[in-house]
Amino acid sequence: MRISIVQNYAKRLHAKYNLSMPVDLDELAKKYATLKYTQIPMDIDGVCADLKVSGKRPRIFVNIEMPKKRQRFTLAHEIGHVVIPWHTGTIFDLTTITESDSTIEYWEMEQEANAFATELLMPTGWIESLIKKNDSDISNLHKEIVKLADVSDIAACLRLIQFLPKGHVFVAADHGGYVQYSGRSKGTIASALPRGEVLDMANHYTYCVKRSFVETMSGIYYWFELPTDIELPNTDRNCDWRTILQSIFRDLGLEKEAQIKMTQQLNGVLGFANSIVKRGTPSRESLYSACIQRLERKRHLDPLTHHSEFPQFLSAKINDLIEKSS
């Protein structure tokens, strides 16, 4: 896929027509195609017809029964099909599309048109300037993008998370607490939550340094800022992590085979966190934070990580790793 190329097409339209926010998509579309809002069956968002057909003006149809902000994204998407040179023929844009539903070529065109639409509606330079002006409250940035770009809350989240530094996670949950969408900024160690899981504030990202939210009619959008460093609990530096681990296993009543399996799983998680931290300048605090984040959602390790002695074990293990590496 030629994502950077199609994004440049959107940037050129902004420069060519000196587009302002929110982008007047109707006016822009009519420069390149015949536009019609109409009812379209079968959960189709929009249709582009006669693309690159000699002697014919392209036609764009947008499903008027979809929500207004979804119509805006659809129209920006259809403009992308018209502008991108290698998108040809007639394209039906479905509400949801996966590789298994269609040919790879169709799936790639949809991804390219989405990338074009995102850049057209929420330009890179514009997003970066908003963040530069106000990076202290992510939920306010979220609301500002929704208002000024006239896009949906989820579109704003998916765009904003691309520009935030590592250590940021968003979770979009319905009013029942079920996760609808989730994402993390590049380089973030903690996992994003899967769709359908229940967001539990007592268990998810409890170590975050800042949490904010935006409440809407459809649900709540949470933003979590995760720490680069976490202070280790006060423990005796001479504590042996093996002794503590065995004490935890005795409390849990695990058989030898289960102990070996859980130890292997834990070592895999901690080893991965250690390898990430080693790419920079490792410290006890940064490694502790990386381990805590990496253990997020490792539900099979919950009996171990929720034990009262686990912080002491992890602290002792980290002290051992740091001392060996130095």
Does the pLDDT of residue 151 top 90, yes or no?
Answer: yes
Q: 134 CB contacts (<8 Å, ≥6 apart)?
A: 140, 141, 144
Q: Read off the pLDDT of residues 265-319 as tens digits, 9 standing for 90 and up.
A: 988 888 887 787 677 777 889 989 999 999 988 888 889 999 999 999 999 988 8
Helices (H), the chain: 3-17, 25-30, 68-83, 104-121, 124-133, 138-149, 153-160, 241-252, 256-277, 284-294, 302-305, 310-325
Does the pLDDT of residue 101 top 60, yes or no?
Answer: no
Q: Read off the pLDDT of residues 17-37 as tens digits, 9 standing for 90 and up.
A: 999 999 999 999 999 999 999
The fraction of the chain above a pLDDT of 90, given in percent, is 73
Confidence of residue 63 (pLDDT cuts 50, 70, 90): very high
Confidence of residue 97 (pLDDT cuts 50, 70, 90): very low
Identify whether 22 is preceded by a cis peptide bond (ω within 30 of 0). yes
* C-alpha to C-alpha distance for 158 and 140, rounded to whole angstroms: 15
Does the pLDDT of residue 91 top 60, yes or no?
Answer: yes
Mean of all residue pLDDT scores within the chain: 91
Q: 291 CB contacts (<8 Å, ≥6 apart)?
A: 269, 270, 273, 274, 314, 318
Q: Read off the pLDDT of residues 199-237 as tens digits, 9 standing for 90 and up.
A: 999 889 999 999 999 999 999 999 999 999 999 887 666
Query: What is the pLDDT, as a whole number, of residue 100?
Result: 44
Q: Read off the pLDDT of residues 234-268 as tens digits, 9 standing for 90 and up.
A: 766 667 899 999 999 999 998 999 999 999 998 88
Average pLDDT over residues 118-144: 93
Does the pLDDT of residue 82 top 70, yes or no?
Answer: yes
Q: What strands, in cross-sheet order, belong to the sheet with 179-184?
A: 179-184, 168-174, 219-225, 210-215
Q: Are 63 and 38 in contact (CB under 8 A)?
A: yes
The label of the residue with tokens 């680069």 reads 228
Q: Read off the pLDDT of residues 163-202 as tens digits, 9 standing for 90 and up.
A: 999 999 999 999 999 999 999 999 999 999 999 999 999 8
* Total-model pTM: 0.88
Confidence of residue 104 (pLDDT cuts 50, 70, 90): low
Longest pairwise C-alpha distance within the chain: 81
